Amino acid sequence: MTSNALVLRVIQSLEHFGIDYMLVGSYSSNIFGVPRSTKDADFVIEVGEKSLSPLFQSLASDLIFDSQMLLESVTMTLRYVGRHPASGFKVELFMLSSDPFDQERFRRRQPKSFLEATAQLPTPEDVIVQKLRWFERSQRPRDREDVKNVLAVQRGKLDLEYLRGWADQHRTRALLDALLLEVSRLT
Phi, psi of 71 (to 5 degrees): -95, 120
Asked if 90 contacts 39 with a C-beta cutoff of 8 angstroms, the reply is: yes
Q: How far is the CB of 138 from another protein (least distance, A)?
A: 7
Least CB distance from residue 52 to another protein, whole Å? Answer: 23
Residue 81's H or E segment, with its range, is: strand 77-83
Distance, in Å, from the CA atom of 59 to the CA atom of 179, rounded to the nearest integer, reads 40
Q: Residues 138, 141, 147, CA angle at the centre, nearest 5°?
A: 95
Contact 142, 150 (CB under 8 A): no
- The minimum distance between CB 111 and another protein, in angstroms, equals 11
Q: Which residues bind another protein (CB under 8 A)?
A: 2-4, 7, 26-27, 30-39, 41, 85-89, 112-115, 119, 121, 138-142, 149, 152-153, 185-187
- How far apart are alpha carbons 141 and 169 in whole angstroms? 22
**Which is closer to another protein, CB of 106 or CB of 134?**
134
Identify which of residues 71 and 186 has a Cβ nearer to another protein in the complex. 186
We find the least distance from the C-beta atom of residue 33 to another protein, in angstroms, to be 7
Nearer to another protein, 50 or 108 (CB): 108
- By beta-carbon proximity to another protein, the closer residue of 35 and 54 is 35
